[in-house]
Homo-oligomer: A and B are copies of this chain.
Amino acid sequence: MSPTREHSPHAEPASRQVAAVLRAAIEAGELAPGDRLPSERELAATHGVARNTAREAVRQLSEAGLVTAVHGRGVFVRSERRLMRLGQRRYSRKLREETGLSPFHAEVQAQGRTPSAYLASIERVVPPAAVAERLGIRADVKSCVRRENRYFADDEPMQIGTTYIPWEIAKGTVLATDGPLGTGDLYARFADTGHDITYTREEVIARMPSPVEAKELQLPHGVPVLEVLHTGLDQDRRPFEVTQFVMRADWTGLDYTMAVDE
């Protein structure tokens, strides 16, 4: 027997017991992705608890990423994640030249979804310390251009990408303007300036989103973000751009294959 619902010392809290029942139903497939859970009031009645207790159970599932509540409609089992797998191939020159697509567009199309992206802002700015350090530029003057991009798949926001380019590289080129980039993508334009992306350093962390990020990425509760600080290095191992990606982690994975250092 599992711990009973009766009063007894050290019993599992009622909210956890209700959550466990729902979790089991979801994992057994009795509640399939997209299905609606019983309403909080129903759960309260059937399990003999107060509505707040049933609500707490739902909250636990929501935090764990299993369900999503929709105001006025109900609580639904979350759909399977459809993972976009982003790897170092996304910087491939061959891929760029063959498809004429940016790496993000190529990746999303390969998943059978419709990609879109737009430049949200472009500005000459003082770089954050971490960026200045990686680019080897000054952190006390407007030494770089910041390009902020939003990326979507089927009109659902997937990533925010903030690229920092040293002013010395960007000045006088399309990189410093909000004009169209032409055939290929940003990396084709970097190649024009003599910086051919040859190596890439990716520093990855995971964390919960800030309120602003949760809003911009339309994140349900319980979805973390992957933050990738990407540094592009050219044929001479010189860094020429840093991009901070913030990606919703339920739809995004990273896939790297690399040689082990000697």
Is A205 an interface residue when CB atoms closer than 8 A count as contact?
Answer: yes
A254–B208 touching, CB < 8 Å: no
In the complex, the count of this chain's copies comes to: 2
The interface bits of chain A over 40-65 (1 if a CB of B lies within 8 angstroms of the residue's CB, else 0) are 00000000000000000000000111
A77, B33: Cα distance in complex, Å: 37
A222, B233: Cα distance in complex, Å: 35
A98, B210: Cα distance in complex, Å: 42
The residue from B88, B202, B208 contacting A224, defined by CB atoms under 8 A apart: B208
A260–B208 touching, CB < 8 Å: no
A89, B253: Cα distance in complex, Å: 21
In the complex, besides A65-B207, A198-B259, 12 extra interface pairs with C-beta distance below 8 angstroms are A88-B260, A91-B261, A93-B260, A198-B260, A199-B260, A201-B256, A204-B204, A204-B253, A205-B253, A206-B226, A208-B222, A233-B257
Q: Which residues of A contact B (CB under 8 A)?
A: 63-65, 83, 85, 88-89, 91-95, 197-208, 210-211, 221-222, 224-226, 233, 249-250, 252-262
